[in-house]
Amino acid sequence: MKFSFKKTLIFFLFSILFISSVSFAFYLGKSQCPICPPQDLDFSLFWEAYYKLKENFLEKEKISDKDILYGAISGMVKSLGDPYSSFYNPKETERFIQEDIKGEYEGVGMYIGIRNNQLQVISPLKGTPAYRAGLKAGDKILAINGTSTEGMSLEKATSLIKGPKGTKVKLTIFREGWEKPKEFIIERAKIEIPTLEWELKEKEIAYIHIYQFNEKTNKKFSKIAFEILNSSAKKIILDLRNNPGGLLNEVVKISGWFLKSGDKVVIIKEKNKKEVKRAFGNEIFLNYPMVVLINQGTASGAEILAAALRENRNVKLIGQTSFGKGSVQEPIRLSDGSLLKITIAEWLTPNENSINNKGVKPDIEVKMTDEDFNKERDPQLEKALEIIKQMR
């Protein structure tokens, strides 16, 4: 042992104080101890490892106690084996909050996720460096700047891909149908996250593309809804491709434009109960013939909306099977400003079908090839236009 007498004494006194405080708290009862260590867990192993690191690590002067603490918490969350439960330190938490408020950040412009223990692209945002480079939903990210992504957490991967505009990141990508991986060197830029847009097609078809469900989505939809009502539109194509989801409450609000008030939108299945979220609103587009576009980048709340429209109104889904992210995460702020994101429930469709790791299958499957992308063809949208023209 290389402990100095002073350190040994401090550790001994700390241990006495710790054990005494825990014992006293249990003596008073749980009502007096809202956060107590488990009685059957010996934390001395943690402190033993901590001091071994402090004493023996080659560059021990670089060791930060706060970094060790955050690393321990991250490891604890990672041990759950759930890719969507994660820990963010105060600096990371503040950055994510600012991105959500501003709707912008610096990076390559894509959402990523983990499926079957493999990091992959959920969706590239249209017009961003990732989109222009040719990345597609479903692409597997094997390495970032030469570092393998095997076992890498989402937050770690995100921090490596993001960076100041003008700098570059190298991604090693494998796509279904390729013989071997390819490297993409992408220059980062300032990314503005779109919400939604619409245009009139063929004089009577409102083509609405919702890119994500954030706190502004329904407010913006309210504005375009009246534009659509005042146009010659009589039918709707709702494009949910490459939509990674977002806020469930916004999904429910948007559903109220298309479903009957009271229709089931989603069932939230927790440990011991089920909660049903129902559509509410003005039902303005309830009687408009419509179809919905989905692909591998359609995830989370976007999958829920697509399934709710099909199971309540028999709306046809066109495209490819969606991502399959059907779990619910609750953000919990900790005392120092850090954040835990914890999976607390599962989403089920109105007919109680699980989408987690399965996705939503389209009624009409239409694939997008690399050639389609390179020649800026959209066979999925073309099929949607063909189908909806036949609807009355």
**Residue 211 in 3-state DSSP?**
coil
> Do 246 and 213 meet the contact criterion of CB atoms below 8 Å apart?
yes
> In 64-164, at which residue ranges do the beta strands (DSSP E only) sit?
86-88, 104-107, 110-115, 118-124, 140-144, 147-148
Catalytic residue among 92, 99, 311, 346: 311
CB 299, CB 245: distance < 8 Å: yes
Cross-strand pairs, 114: 119
> Angle at CA 114, nearest 5°, toward 370 and 243?
60
For residue 234, indicate whether it is catalytic.
no
DSSP string, 25-62: HHHH-GGG-SS---TT--THHHHHHHHHHHHH-TTGGG
What are the beta bridge partners of residue 210? 196
Distance of CA 382 to the CA centre of its chain: 29
The span from the CA of 54 to the CA of 337, in Å, is 26
Which residues does residue 18 pair with via DSSP β-bridges, in sequence order?
none
DSSP string for 173-198: EE-TT-SS-EEEEEE-EEEE---EEE
> What are the angstrom distances between the C-alpha of 105 and each of 87, 123, 132, 235, 261?
20, 16, 17, 35, 37
Question: Does 303 qualify as catalytic in the annotation?
Answer: no
Q: Is 311 one of the catalytic residues? A: yes
Q: What is the distance between the alpha carbons of residues 59 and 40, in angstroms, rounded to a whole number?
A: 34
Q: Catalytic residue, from 140, 269, 325, 383: name it.
A: 325
Given 300, 322, 327, 338, which residue is catalytic?
300
Longest dimension (CA), the chain: 86
CB 320 within 8 A of CB 265: no
Q: Please count the residues of the chain.
A: 392
Closest alpha carbon to 136 in 245, 320, 297, 292: 297
Please list the active-site residues.
300, 311, 325
